[in-house]
Structure 1
Amino acid sequence: MNHIIREKRKLIFNGRIITPTIIRQLAKLFEEESFKPSDDFEKVITTIYSIDADDNSSYESQSTQIFESGEMIEKKVVTRINMRLNTFDNSKNIELQLSDSLKDDSTTNFILVSGEDTIWVNGITAKFNEVLNQSQKQVKAISFTEYCAFLAIIIFNIIYFRLFYSSFEKMHSDFYKLIFIVGIPIVSMIGFSNLGDYLKGLWPSVELQTGPGYLQIPMLKRKKLSWILSVIIIPLLLGFIYDILKSFFHIF
């Protein structure tokens, strides 16, 4: 019995925004490979494409038409896409999975290629990697949100004590002083920490931008956040900095 050694490559990816255009380019690679003619029945290629939507509906097809313009990936918010290609004798196998993912997770977004021909395996893997590199990189939200939350805590507490410290000195109850001097800052730390977690959800590690624009919640929330920052937060911050500088130079 002839035991054949198979080459196997797994390409894991994170930090990407996957649009319908990228999805169709990836599906095209499957289609091109499946259309290669073969007279050997054992080399016959089968493909299966599946889509899971956020409304718990699922769809399957043996054709890439499932990804065409006007079909499911533009009608519904898709949470997971799976594409598979296999030969009857398993001499060639490709599996691609795309999934909305908040955190980097090697089990949810990957391309797995295996086969008897090492050159074919490495060549196909390189083609998929080339398409993925054309997708937009996602903002690394973890360090960004942690920095913003930390900065917000500091600014809030500086403003808080600046505005109300004189009122604390007039309080006769030590209990109330403790609440306002210690309790409020602690509550602000908890609150802004939760805000940091919320902001992380606006920049998923892998984001499938499918469905109508009004259903692409993370993207819409990012636009609202951008508006709030530019119209409200940044002007307030600049005013606060100006006030600090004015007080500083007034003292000296």
Structure 2
Amino acid sequence: MQLIQSIVILSLGILLAGCEKSSEPTAESHAASAPFAAASTLTVNQALEASLPVELQQKLQDMILNPKTSSEDVLRAKQYLAARDDVQNDVRQFIQAHAQVITAQQDANPEQKIKFLKQLYVQQLDDELMGVDLIKLYGTSEMRKLIEQRDLIADQYAGEMCDWVRPILIPGSGDHDFSANSIQYTVLSDGRIRVEAVNFGEKIRIDFELDCQDERCKINDIFAPQSYKKELIEIVKHERC
């Protein structure tokens, strides 16, 4: 915010400096130029507003409409109003660009996410790893905690099959007749990665929300099509099988 404010103040200073004349101002122009002194102290919030504060805007309009105002000050008032709009547009564009940079930094490289999911499914399709909860293994700390709490609830109903105990990465029975190489990966507009495959003639479509930092990815949520995290939260909340 301090950086943006500095840009606004600097831009206003440059733009207003361009409106100054080298001639010595008269007493009349001193009085008429008072709004410009106030304008030099604009904050970033004021610069981002759709219009100037009503009092200052009215003074500028009065200057333009007043027949006693010198043509020089009328021009300066009009130039300031135009400069104000330019500065606001520049600030908005700066903020938008800055937000895009932040989003890009937070959102890991799509190739990194896809690479992680490819490795995940290679392990999921490995018979030697059958029974390993890969979501718990590669989940965020929040996901792991929810799954652990869910497992404790399931243990309370020994011998019973809870209706929410089911495969997530490969819906259905968990069996498969497809290979890891046949899986398709698509980057979605919200940053999620869609995994698609055909298993025993049935189409599988799962969206993954991943948290990737320092070249390591964790599973934050899975949508198949509903949020798996929300499902876990409900199970833990009600503590029922």
TM-score of the aligned structures, taking structure 2 as reference length: 0.31
Say which structure is richer in strand: 1
Structure 1 length-normalised TM: 0.30
